[in-house]
Structure 1
């Protein structure tokens, strides 16, 4: 009786995707994220220059929140108190999301998109923008508290 072999292509792809997801989620627990290149964001009240770390394929450029262009996420951080709490935002693939962070401390926001992005901010007001190029649901979390500040539905 002949033996039938299943192609491993679909199975291998599933394992690779699962492994990639596990690595991306594990990166949140890591204290160091200095392997990706940085792009600048605009900080209006402190002298430190925060940055957004992304893959080279996802451009992030400085912006000012007062331009009124596109959807906006406003984040307020007071110690361990972070708001909003899981704000739902709808974006089109490739659409820019303006992010304004008003914080009493320096920190990082993690954007769990297909190419993870990192928004570093200093104490004071920091304005930045992100672009998500892959459809799906993307969490934005404060690294220090792990609070989820936004859920972005990218279509």
Structure 2
């Protein structure tokens, strides 16, 4: 019977990819109590900064229309309906991304960066600035539905 030997390097690469995928999927199953804090970055690579909103739910000044705040991600949530669907965004490392969430429920967006970040939002309008300093591909998903709202390519 002929013997088949798989090259050791390919076996290790396959195993490493499998472990990486399993860890990424497991991270989405964690609860907020297991996760890093939302408002304070855990190191110098990323940060999430909530911004103020007026009592009417409109963002406080400055607004994206009046100043150049950089790229904008607008997320609309109505129950289980979440949009956009995997919007592609190019972002420079350290560049601010304004995230505007308009939702009929409170919830949380998971930002799969290193370290992972969380954007908590209330029912109504929530505005947050997101900064990712580590280059790579970062997914942003709604925790409740697991819908991927954006794929950020950080250069």
Scaled to the shorter chain, the TM-score interval is 0.7 to 0.9
Alpha-carbon distance in 1 for matches of 2:103, 2:79: 8
Write the deviation string for residues 99-144 of structure 1: whole angstroms up to 9, x where unpaired: 0000000111001112111101111100001111111111100011
Equivalent-residue separation in structure 1 for 2:43 and 2:21 (angstroms) = 19
Equivalences for 1:1-155 in 2 at 5 Å?
22-39=22-39, 54-57=41-44, 58-63=46-51, 66-67=63-64, 68=67, 69-155=69-155
Unaligned runs of 5+ in 1: 1-10, 40-52
Q: SS state of the match for residue 27, structure 2?
A: helix
4+ residue stretches of structure 1 with deviation over 6 A? none
| Cα gap change, 1:78 to 1:147, in 2 (>3 Å) | same
Structure 1-normalised TM-score?
Answer: 0.72
Task: Check 1:109–1:38 CA distance in 2 against 1; reply closer, same or farther (3 A cut).
Answer: closer
Could you tell me the TM-score, scaled by structure 2's length? 0.72
Distance 1:35 1:140, change over 3 A: closer
Structure 1 residue 54: Cα displacement: 3.9
- Aligned CA distance change for structure 1 residues 35 and 28 (closer, same or farther; 3 Å): closer
**1-side partners of 2:35 and 2:140: how far apart?**
20
Partner Cα separation in structure 1 for residue 37 and residue 94 of structure 2: 19
Q: What is the Cα deviation at residue 62 of structure 1?
A: 3.2
CA deviations 1:33-91 (Å, max 9, x no partner) are 4542331xxxxxxxxxxxxx642322332336614411010000000000001111000
Runs of 5+ unmatched residues, structure 2: 1-11, 53-58
Kindly report the root-mean-square deviation, in angstroms, between the aligned alpha carbons of the 2 structures. Answer: 2.4
1:21 CA drift (Å): 6.0
